[in-house]
Structure 1
Amino acid sequence: MATMVGVASAAAMATGFALSKDTLLVEAAESGHTRTVERLLRDGADIEQRDWRGRTALLAATHGGRVETARVLIGAGADVNAKDAIDDSPYLYAGARGHLEILELTLAHGADLRSTNRYGGTALIPAAERGHVETVRRLIDTGVDVDHVNRLGWTALLEAVILGDGGERHQAIVRLLLEAGADQAIADREGVTPMEHARRLGYTGIEAILAEEGAR
Protein backbone atom coordinates (compact mmCIF):
# COMPACT_ATOMS: atom_id res chain seq x y z
CA MET A 1 0.00 0.00 0.00
CA ALA A 2 2.93 2.35 0.65
CA THR A 3 3.84 2.22 -3.02
CA MET A 4 0.31 3.16 -3.93
CA VAL A 5 -0.38 6.15 -1.78
CA GLY A 6 2.97 7.42 -0.55
CA VAL A 7 5.09 7.89 2.49
CA ALA A 8 2.35 9.23 4.74
CA SER A 9 0.34 6.07 4.21
CA ALA A 10 3.33 3.91 5.09
CA ALA A 11 3.84 5.91 8.26
CA ALA A 12 0.18 5.52 9.11
CA MET A 13 0.43 1.76 8.73
CA ALA A 14 3.55 1.66 10.95
CA THR A 15 1.80 3.54 13.74
CA GLY A 16 -1.49 1.74 13.34
CA PHE A 17 -3.23 4.97 12.42
CA ALA A 18 -5.70 4.64 9.59
CA LEU A 19 -5.76 7.54 7.16
CA SER A 20 -9.19 8.56 5.95
CA LYS A 21 -10.15 7.84 2.38
CA ASP A 22 -10.35 11.60 1.81
CA THR A 23 -6.71 12.06 2.82
CA LEU A 24 -5.69 9.05 0.78
CA LEU A 25 -7.43 10.54 -2.24
CA VAL A 26 -5.14 13.59 -2.27
CA GLU A 27 -2.05 11.40 -1.85
CA ALA A 28 -3.07 8.97 -4.55
CA ALA A 29 -3.84 11.85 -6.92
CA GLU A 30 -0.44 13.45 -6.46
CA SER A 31 1.27 10.10 -7.03
CA GLY A 32 -0.75 9.46 -10.18
CA HIS A 33 -2.41 6.27 -8.94
CA THR A 34 -5.49 6.71 -11.06
CA ARG A 35 -7.12 3.37 -10.22
CA THR A 36 -6.80 4.11 -6.53
CA VAL A 37 -8.37 7.51 -7.10
CA GLU A 38 -11.25 5.91 -8.98
CA ARG A 39 -11.78 3.36 -6.19
CA LEU A 40 -11.69 6.00 -3.46
CA LEU A 41 -14.21 8.12 -5.34
CA ARG A 42 -16.50 5.10 -5.70
CA ASP A 43 -16.13 4.55 -1.95
CA GLY A 44 -17.36 8.06 -1.28
CA ALA A 45 -14.16 10.06 -0.78
CA ASP A 46 -14.71 13.82 -0.79
CA ILE A 47 -13.44 15.05 -4.15
CA GLU A 48 -12.81 18.53 -2.70
CA GLN A 49 -10.93 17.30 0.39
CA ARG A 50 -7.94 19.56 1.21
CA ASP A 51 -4.52 18.56 2.50
CA TRP A 52 -2.46 20.60 4.97
CA ARG A 53 -1.44 22.92 2.12
CA GLY A 54 -5.04 23.52 1.14
CA ARG A 55 -4.71 21.47 -2.04
CA THR A 56 -7.54 19.42 -3.44
CA ALA A 57 -6.85 16.08 -5.10
CA LEU A 58 -7.03 17.78 -8.50
CA LEU A 59 -4.47 20.41 -7.56
CA ALA A 60 -2.22 17.70 -6.12
CA ALA A 61 -2.49 15.78 -9.40
CA THR A 62 -1.68 18.97 -11.28
CA HIS A 63 1.39 19.52 -9.11
CA GLY A 64 2.56 16.06 -10.12
CA GLY A 65 1.69 16.56 -13.79
CA ARG A 66 -0.63 13.54 -13.58
CA VAL A 67 -2.72 13.99 -16.71
CA GLU A 68 -4.85 10.84 -16.55
CA THR A 69 -5.55 11.28 -12.85
CA ALA A 70 -6.55 14.88 -13.47
CA ARG A 71 -8.81 13.74 -16.27
CA VAL A 72 -10.61 11.30 -13.96
CA LEU A 73 -11.02 13.89 -11.21
CA ILE A 74 -12.30 16.58 -13.57
CA GLY A 75 -14.66 14.07 -15.14
CA ALA A 76 -15.97 13.34 -11.65
CA GLY A 77 -16.67 17.01 -11.08
CA ALA A 78 -13.53 18.37 -9.39
CA ASP A 79 -13.43 22.16 -9.23
CA VAL A 80 -10.73 23.45 -11.59
CA ASN A 81 -10.74 26.83 -9.83
CA ALA A 82 -10.41 25.62 -6.20
CA LYS A 83 -7.49 27.48 -4.63
CA ASP A 84 -5.01 26.32 -2.02
CA ALA A 85 -3.46 28.28 0.84
CA ILE A 86 -1.25 30.29 -1.52
CA ASP A 87 -3.94 31.01 -4.12
CA ASP A 88 -2.95 28.40 -6.68
CA SER A 89 -5.72 26.54 -8.48
CA PRO A 90 -5.48 23.64 -10.94
CA TYR A 91 -6.06 26.09 -13.80
CA LEU A 92 -3.55 28.68 -12.57
CA TYR A 93 -0.89 26.12 -11.69
CA ALA A 94 -1.22 24.22 -14.97
CA GLY A 95 -0.82 27.48 -16.86
CA ALA A 96 2.12 28.69 -14.79
CA ARG A 97 3.98 25.38 -15.07
CA GLY A 98 3.22 24.68 -18.70
CA HIS A 99 1.18 21.54 -18.02
CA LEU A 100 -0.62 22.01 -21.32
CA GLU A 101 -2.75 18.85 -21.30
CA ILE A 102 -4.11 19.58 -17.84
CA LEU A 103 -4.58 23.23 -18.78
CA GLU A 104 -6.73 22.11 -21.72
CA LEU A 105 -8.85 20.01 -19.37
CA THR A 106 -9.38 22.95 -17.03
CA LEU A 107 -10.27 25.26 -19.91
CA ALA A 108 -12.88 22.77 -21.09
CA HIS A 109 -14.42 22.60 -17.62
CA GLY A 110 -14.97 26.16 -16.51
CA ALA A 111 -11.55 27.67 -15.82
CA ASP A 112 -11.93 31.25 -14.60
CA LEU A 113 -9.71 33.27 -16.93
CA ARG A 114 -9.96 36.28 -14.61
CA SER A 115 -8.69 34.41 -11.55
CA THR A 116 -5.33 35.49 -10.20
CA ASN A 117 -2.49 33.98 -8.18
CA ARG A 118 -0.89 35.26 -4.99
CA TYR A 119 0.94 37.92 -6.97
CA GLY A 120 -2.28 39.15 -8.50
CA GLY A 121 -1.33 37.74 -11.88
CA THR A 122 -3.30 35.71 -14.40
CA ALA A 123 -2.03 32.35 -15.63
CA LEU A 124 -0.54 34.10 -18.66
CA ILE A 125 2.01 36.11 -16.69
CA PRO A 126 4.03 33.26 -15.10
CA ALA A 127 3.68 31.22 -18.29
CA ALA A 128 5.35 34.10 -20.17
CA GLU A 129 8.04 34.46 -17.51
CA ARG A 130 8.91 30.74 -17.56
CA GLY A 131 9.11 30.45 -21.32
CA HIS A 132 6.14 28.14 -21.91
CA VAL A 133 5.55 29.12 -25.52
CA GLU A 134 2.64 26.82 -26.36
CA THR A 135 0.94 27.57 -23.06
CA VAL A 136 1.19 31.29 -23.76
CA ARG A 137 -0.22 30.72 -27.24
CA ARG A 138 -3.13 28.72 -25.84
CA LEU A 139 -3.93 31.24 -23.13
CA ILE A 140 -3.87 34.07 -25.64
CA ASP A 141 -6.32 32.08 -27.76
CA THR A 142 -8.75 31.97 -24.82
CA GLY A 143 -8.92 35.74 -24.78
CA VAL A 144 -7.18 36.23 -21.44
CA ASP A 145 -6.22 39.87 -20.82
CA VAL A 146 -2.71 40.26 -22.25
CA ASP A 147 -2.22 43.61 -20.51
CA HIS A 148 -3.24 42.56 -17.02
CA VAL A 149 -0.91 44.14 -14.43
CA ASN A 150 -0.01 42.09 -11.34
CA ARG A 151 0.81 43.35 -7.86
CA LEU A 152 4.45 43.78 -8.82
CA GLY A 153 3.37 46.23 -11.49
CA TRP A 154 4.28 43.87 -14.33
CA THR A 155 2.40 42.64 -17.39
CA ALA A 156 3.12 39.35 -19.16
CA LEU A 157 5.30 41.28 -21.62
CA LEU A 158 7.31 42.90 -18.85
CA GLU A 159 7.83 39.56 -17.09
CA ALA A 160 8.88 37.85 -20.31
CA VAL A 161 11.61 40.47 -20.68
CA ILE A 162 12.62 41.10 -17.05
CA LEU A 163 12.52 37.52 -15.77
CA GLY A 164 13.18 35.67 -19.02
CA ASP A 165 16.58 34.78 -20.42
CA GLY A 166 16.31 36.68 -23.70
CA GLY A 167 16.57 33.45 -25.67
CA GLU A 168 14.46 31.91 -28.41
CA ARG A 169 11.55 30.88 -26.20
CA HIS A 170 11.16 34.30 -24.64
CA GLN A 171 11.60 35.97 -28.01
CA ALA A 172 8.77 33.81 -29.36
CA ILE A 173 6.61 34.76 -26.38
CA VAL A 174 7.29 38.47 -26.83
CA ARG A 175 6.26 38.16 -30.45
CA LEU A 176 3.08 36.26 -29.55
CA LEU A 177 2.12 38.85 -26.96
CA LEU A 178 2.70 41.74 -29.36
CA GLU A 179 0.74 40.00 -32.11
CA ALA A 180 -2.10 39.62 -29.59
CA GLY A 181 -2.09 43.37 -29.00
CA ALA A 182 0.02 43.65 -25.84
CA ASP A 183 0.77 47.29 -25.13
CA GLN A 184 4.53 47.71 -24.98
CA ALA A 185 4.11 51.26 -23.70
CA ILE A 186 2.99 49.92 -20.31
CA ALA A 187 5.99 50.51 -18.02
CA ASP A 188 6.82 49.10 -14.62
CA ARG A 189 6.42 51.09 -11.41
CA GLU A 190 9.70 52.87 -12.04
CA GLY A 191 8.55 53.92 -15.48
CA VAL A 192 10.82 51.48 -17.33
CA THR A 193 9.31 50.03 -20.51
CA PRO A 194 9.88 46.56 -21.97
CA MET A 195 12.18 48.06 -24.61
CA GLU A 196 14.29 49.81 -21.99
CA HIS A 197 14.55 46.62 -19.95
CA ALA A 198 15.60 44.67 -23.05
CA ARG A 199 18.34 47.21 -23.78
CA ARG A 200 19.61 47.22 -20.20
CA LEU A 201 19.73 43.42 -20.14
CA GLY A 202 21.41 43.14 -23.53
CA TYR A 203 18.56 41.13 -25.02
CA THR A 204 19.15 42.23 -28.60
CA GLY A 205 16.75 39.68 -30.06
CA ILE A 206 13.85 40.93 -27.97
CA GLU A 207 14.86 44.53 -28.61
CA ALA A 208 14.66 43.87 -32.35
CA ILE A 209 11.21 42.30 -32.05
CA LEU A 210 9.95 45.25 -30.01
CA ALA A 211 11.44 47.65 -32.55
CA GLU A 212 9.68 45.84 -35.39
CA GLU A 213 6.41 46.62 -33.69
CA GLY A 214 7.20 50.30 -33.39
CA ALA A 215 8.78 50.61 -29.95
CA ARG A 216 10.73 53.78 -29.29
Structure 2
Amino acid sequence: MLTGQLLTAAAAGDTTAVREAVTEGADLEARDSQQRTALLLASAADHVEVAELLVAAGADPNALDAQHDTPWLVTGVTGSVAMMRALLPARPDLTITNRYGGVSLIPACERGHVDYVREVLKTGIDVNHVNNLGWTGLLEAVILGDGSGPYLEIVRLLLAAGADPDLADSNGVTALQHAEQKGQRDIAEILRRA
Protein backbone atom coordinates (compact mmCIF):
# COMPACT_ATOMS: atom_id res chain seq x y z
CA MET A 1 0.00 0.00 0.00
CA LEU A 2 2.73 2.46 0.99
CA THR A 3 4.78 1.55 -2.07
CA GLY A 4 1.90 2.25 -4.43
CA GLN A 5 1.17 5.51 -2.63
CA LEU A 6 4.79 6.63 -2.93
CA LEU A 7 5.07 5.82 -6.64
CA THR A 8 1.72 7.40 -7.50
CA ALA A 9 2.43 10.53 -5.46
CA ALA A 10 5.92 10.94 -6.93
CA ALA A 11 4.60 10.65 -10.48
CA ALA A 12 1.89 13.22 -9.71
CA GLY A 13 4.22 15.63 -7.92
CA ASP A 14 2.26 15.37 -4.68
CA THR A 15 4.93 16.42 -2.19
CA THR A 16 2.65 16.03 0.85
CA ALA A 17 1.73 12.44 -0.02
CA VAL A 18 5.36 11.59 -0.80
CA ARG A 19 6.46 13.02 2.56
CA GLU A 20 3.77 10.98 4.34
CA ALA A 21 4.78 7.76 2.57
CA VAL A 22 8.47 8.34 3.33
CA THR A 23 7.71 9.15 6.98
CA GLU A 24 5.62 5.98 7.27
CA GLY A 25 8.53 3.90 5.98
CA ALA A 26 7.80 3.36 2.28
CA ASP A 27 10.58 1.63 0.38
CA LEU A 28 12.39 4.41 -1.52
CA GLU A 29 13.68 1.93 -4.08
CA ALA A 30 10.35 0.22 -4.80
CA ARG A 31 9.64 -0.15 -8.53
CA ASP A 32 6.61 0.13 -10.77
CA SER A 33 5.89 -2.31 -13.62
CA GLN A 34 8.58 -0.63 -15.75
CA GLN A 35 11.12 -0.79 -12.92
CA ARG A 36 10.96 2.97 -12.28
CA THR A 37 11.56 4.23 -8.75
CA ALA A 38 9.74 7.17 -7.18
CA LEU A 39 12.80 9.35 -7.84
CA LEU A 40 12.86 8.40 -11.51
CA LEU A 41 9.13 9.13 -11.84
CA ALA A 42 9.60 12.52 -10.18
CA SER A 43 12.65 13.29 -12.34
CA ALA A 44 10.92 12.40 -15.60
CA ALA A 45 7.96 14.65 -14.73
CA ASP A 46 10.25 17.43 -13.43
CA HIS A 47 8.75 17.44 -9.94
CA VAL A 48 11.76 19.10 -8.35
CA GLU A 49 10.39 19.49 -4.82
CA VAL A 50 9.47 15.80 -4.70
CA ALA A 51 12.95 14.86 -5.96
CA GLU A 52 14.62 17.05 -3.33
CA LEU A 53 12.57 15.32 -0.63
CA LEU A 54 13.46 11.86 -1.97
CA VAL A 55 17.15 12.73 -2.31
CA ALA A 56 17.20 14.02 1.28
CA ALA A 57 15.64 10.71 2.36
CA GLY A 58 18.40 8.76 0.58
CA ALA A 59 16.84 7.75 -2.77
CA ASP A 60 19.26 6.35 -5.35
CA PRO A 61 19.90 8.64 -8.37
CA ASN A 62 21.48 5.70 -10.23
CA ALA A 63 18.57 3.24 -10.06
CA LEU A 64 18.13 1.77 -13.56
CA ASP A 65 14.69 1.09 -14.98
CA ALA A 66 13.65 -1.41 -17.66
CA GLN A 67 14.69 1.04 -20.41
CA HIS A 68 18.13 1.56 -18.85
CA ASP A 69 17.31 5.07 -17.65
CA THR A 70 18.11 6.52 -14.24
CA PRO A 71 16.85 9.65 -12.51
CA TRP A 72 20.12 11.36 -13.50
CA LEU A 73 20.07 10.22 -17.14
CA VAL A 74 16.52 11.50 -17.55
CA THR A 75 17.67 15.05 -16.79
CA GLY A 76 19.65 15.08 -20.04
CA VAL A 77 16.47 14.25 -21.95
CA THR A 78 14.23 16.77 -20.16
CA GLY A 79 16.94 19.42 -19.98
CA SER A 80 15.84 20.40 -16.48
CA VAL A 81 18.64 22.31 -14.77
CA ALA A 82 16.58 22.51 -11.58
CA MET A 83 16.22 18.71 -11.48
CA MET A 84 19.91 18.24 -12.26
CA ARG A 85 20.74 20.47 -9.29
CA ALA A 86 18.24 18.61 -7.08
CA LEU A 87 19.99 15.31 -7.86
CA LEU A 88 23.59 16.46 -7.49
CA PRO A 89 23.60 16.20 -3.64
CA ALA A 90 22.90 12.46 -4.10
CA ARG A 91 26.21 12.18 -5.96
CA PRO A 92 24.91 10.52 -9.16
CA ASP A 93 27.29 8.39 -11.21
CA LEU A 94 27.97 10.57 -14.26
CA THR A 95 29.40 7.59 -16.17
CA ILE A 96 26.23 5.47 -16.21
CA THR A 97 24.95 5.23 -19.77
CA ASN A 98 21.49 4.99 -21.30
CA ARG A 99 20.34 2.27 -23.70
CA TYR A 100 22.21 4.06 -26.50
CA GLY A 101 25.45 4.10 -24.52
CA GLY A 102 25.27 7.83 -23.88
CA VAL A 103 25.82 9.88 -20.73
CA SER A 104 23.29 12.60 -19.83
CA LEU A 105 25.20 15.24 -21.81
CA ILE A 106 24.54 13.56 -25.16
CA PRO A 107 20.72 13.70 -25.31
CA ALA A 108 20.88 17.27 -24.01
CA CYS A 109 23.13 18.18 -26.96
CA GLU A 110 20.81 16.41 -29.39
CA ARG A 111 17.73 18.22 -28.06
CA GLY A 112 19.29 21.69 -27.91
CA HIS A 113 19.13 22.09 -24.11
CA VAL A 114 21.64 24.95 -23.89
CA ASP A 115 21.22 25.76 -20.19
CA TYR A 116 21.50 22.11 -19.21
CA VAL A 117 24.65 21.62 -21.30
CA ARG A 118 26.19 24.73 -19.75
CA GLU A 119 25.49 23.45 -16.22
CA VAL A 120 26.28 19.76 -16.68
CA LEU A 121 29.69 20.63 -18.13
CA LYS A 122 30.54 22.09 -14.70
CA THR A 123 30.15 18.63 -13.11
CA GLY A 124 33.19 17.15 -14.83
CA ILE A 125 31.11 14.88 -17.08
CA ASP A 126 33.12 13.38 -19.95
CA VAL A 127 32.68 15.87 -22.79
CA ASN A 128 34.19 13.39 -25.27
CA HIS A 129 32.15 10.34 -24.27
CA VAL A 130 31.30 8.21 -27.32
CA ASN A 131 27.95 6.40 -27.41
CA ASN A 132 26.99 3.13 -29.14
CA LEU A 133 26.36 5.00 -32.41
CA GLY A 134 29.93 6.29 -32.34
CA TRP A 135 28.78 9.83 -31.54
CA THR A 136 29.87 12.38 -28.94
CA GLY A 137 27.72 15.25 -27.71
CA LEU A 138 29.41 17.47 -30.30
CA LEU A 139 28.55 15.07 -33.11
CA GLU A 140 24.95 14.76 -31.89
CA ALA A 141 24.54 18.53 -31.76
CA VAL A 142 25.62 18.76 -35.41
CA ILE A 143 24.09 15.56 -36.84
CA LEU A 144 20.72 15.77 -35.07
CA GLY A 145 20.60 19.54 -34.59
CA ASP A 146 19.40 22.06 -37.14
CA GLY A 147 22.29 24.53 -36.95
CA SER A 148 20.13 27.16 -35.22
CA GLY A 149 21.17 29.39 -32.31
CA PRO A 150 20.81 26.82 -29.52
CA TYR A 151 22.98 24.29 -31.37
CA LEU A 152 25.53 26.97 -32.22
CA GLU A 153 25.78 27.83 -28.52
CA ILE A 154 26.06 24.16 -27.53
CA VAL A 155 28.93 23.67 -29.99
CA ARG A 156 30.68 26.71 -28.47
CA LEU A 157 30.14 25.40 -24.92
CA LEU A 158 31.39 21.92 -25.79
CA LEU A 159 34.53 23.23 -27.49
CA ALA A 160 35.25 25.56 -24.56
CA ALA A 161 34.92 22.57 -22.23
CA GLY A 162 37.47 20.56 -24.20
CA ALA A 163 35.40 18.68 -26.76
CA ASP A 164 37.68 17.23 -29.43
CA PRO A 165 36.48 18.53 -32.83
CA ASP A 166 38.58 15.89 -34.60
CA LEU A 167 36.79 12.92 -32.99
CA ALA A 168 35.02 11.32 -35.95
CA ASP A 169 31.93 9.13 -35.93
CA SER A 170 32.14 5.37 -36.57
CA ASN A 171 32.27 6.11 -40.33
CA GLY A 172 35.23 8.46 -39.95
CA VAL A 173 33.18 11.63 -40.51
CA THR A 174 34.02 14.59 -38.25
CA ALA A 175 31.62 17.16 -36.82
CA LEU A 176 33.00 19.72 -39.28
CA GLN A 177 32.31 17.43 -42.24
CA HIS A 178 28.77 16.79 -40.99
CA ALA A 179 28.19 20.54 -40.52
CA GLU A 180 29.40 21.23 -44.05
CA GLN A 181 27.21 18.45 -45.51
CA LYS A 182 24.16 19.82 -43.68
CA GLY A 183 24.84 23.42 -44.71
CA GLN A 184 25.39 24.56 -41.12
CA ARG A 185 27.74 27.37 -42.12
CA ASP A 186 28.05 29.11 -38.75
CA ILE A 187 28.76 25.86 -36.90
CA ALA A 188 31.22 24.79 -39.60
CA GLU A 189 33.08 28.09 -39.18
CA ILE A 190 33.36 27.62 -35.41
CA LEU A 191 34.62 24.07 -35.91
CA ARG A 192 37.19 25.21 -38.49
CA ARG A 193 38.56 27.74 -36.00
CA ALA A 194 38.72 25.08 -33.32
**Shorter-chain TM-score above 0.5:** yes
User: Which residue number corresponds to residue 124 of structure 1?
Assistant: 105
The runs of at least 4 aligned residues of structure 1 exceeding 2 Å deviation read none
Q: CA deviation at 1:134?
A: 1.4
User: Aligned letter for 1:66?
Assistant: H
Structure 2 unaligned segments of length 5 or more: list them: none
Match of 2:92 among 87, 111, 125: 111
* CA deviation vs aligned residue, 1:71-130 (integer Å, no higher than 9, x gap): 111111111111111111111111221111111121222111111111111111111111
User: Aligned letter for 1:74?
Assistant: V
User: Aligned letter for 1:163?
Assistant: L
Match of 1:48 among 29, 40, 61: 29
The answer to whether the aligner puts 1:157 opposite 2:149 as a matched pair is: no
User: Which residue number corresponds to residue 166 of structure 1?
Assistant: 147
Q: CA RMSD in A?
A: 0.9
The answer to whether the aligner puts 1:175 opposite 2:156 as a matched pair is: yes
User: Which residue number corresponds to residue 168 of structure 2?
Assistant: 187
Distance 2:140 2:36 in 1: 27
Distance 1:58 1:151 in 2: 26
Match of 2:44 among 56, 63, 73: 63
User: Aligned letter for 2:136?
Assistant: T
Contact 2:55 2:89 in 1 (8 A): no
Matched residue SS, 1:38: helix
Please tell me whether Structure 1 or Structure 2 has the larger radius of gyration of its CA atoms: 1
Contact 2:76 2:106 in 1 (8 A): no
User: Which residue number corresponds to residue 3 of structure 1?
Assistant: none
Structure 1 unaligned segments of length 5 or more: list them: 1-19
Distance 2:83 2:89 in 1: 10
Matched residue SS, 1:108: helix
User: Aligned letter for 2:192?
Assistant: A
Contact 2:79 2:113 in 1 (8 A): yes
The answer to whether the aligner puts 1:76 opposite 2:76 as a matched pair is: no
TM-score, L = length of structure 1: 0.87
